[in-house]
């Protein structure tokens, strides 16, 4: 077992919520809480590739994992990059809209923006 995997297993085994649920059949809400807790543990270990793999295991895992990944962002840039590449460009460390997004292009933006629990400050320039 690699050191990183050992850290993940140790963190999960030592976490009070996960430890208490190990031998019970959790309800859906409890499962979501467990999935979010595991995702936060993996995130604290900088295990992004593991989180992505975890999210692709099944559709039921995707929503709670995305909730955790998007709940806190350092800036708006990752969210703005949800628009198709012909809508924007990065130039001079600023985000520039090349055209106005059409309504269907806003759907992905809204999907991730709705998961953000805190609003980051505008630290990069956005121009149109």
What does the pLDDT look like over 15-54, one tens digit per residue? 665 555 554 434 554 588 888 988 888 888 888 888 888 8
Look over the chain and give the mean of its residue pLDDT values, rounded to a whole number: 78
> How far does Cα 1 stand from its chain's mean position?
26
φ, ψ of residue 11 to 5 degrees: the values are: -65, -40
Instruction: Give dist(CA 110, CA 115) in Å, integer.
Output: 9
Task: Mention every residue, 6+ apart, whose C-beta is less than 8 A from residue 84.
Answer: 105
pLDDT at 105 over 50: yes
pLDDT at 90 over 80: yes
CA distances from 21 to 13, 30, 34, 68, 76 (A): 10, 8, 8, 20, 36
Instruction: Give dist(CA 127, CA 83) in Å, integer.
Output: 15
**Is 84 in the same domain as 103?**
yes
**Is 110 in the same domain as 84?**
yes
**Is 66 in the same domain as 8?**
yes
pLDDT band at 94 (very low <50, low <70, confident <90, very high): confident
Q: Which pLDDT score, from 0 to 100, does residue 45 have?
A: 87
Q: Token match 């649920």: residue? A: 21
pLDDT band at 120 (very low <50, low <70, confident <90, very high): confident
Query: What domain count does the chain have?
Result: 2
Q: In terms of residue numbers, what domain contains 16?
A: 3-70
**Is 65 in the same domain as 22?**
yes
**Is 36 in the same domain as 84?**
no
**Is 58 in the same domain as 85?**
no
The model's pTM is 0.63
**Is 89 in the same domain as 123?**
yes
**Is 18 in the same domain as 57?**
yes
Considering only CA atoms, which of 110, 92, 113, 90 is closest in space to residue 101?
110
């Amino acid at each position: 077992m690699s050191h990183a995997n050992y850290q993940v297993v140790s963190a999960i085994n030592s976490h009070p919520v996960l430890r208490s649920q190990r031998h019970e059949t959790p309800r859906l809400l409890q499962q979501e809480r467990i999935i979010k807790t595991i995702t936060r543990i993996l995130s604290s270990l900088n295990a992004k590739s593991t989180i992505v793999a975890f999210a692709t295991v099944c559709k039921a895992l995707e929503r709670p994992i995305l909730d955790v990944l998007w709940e806190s962002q350092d800036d708006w840039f990752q969210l703005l990059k949800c628009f198709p590449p012909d809508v924007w460009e990065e130039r001079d460390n600023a985000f520039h809209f090349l055209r106005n997004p059409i309504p269907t292009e806003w759907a992905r933006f809204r999907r991730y923006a709705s998961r953000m629990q805190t609003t980051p400050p505008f630290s990069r320039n956005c121009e149109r």
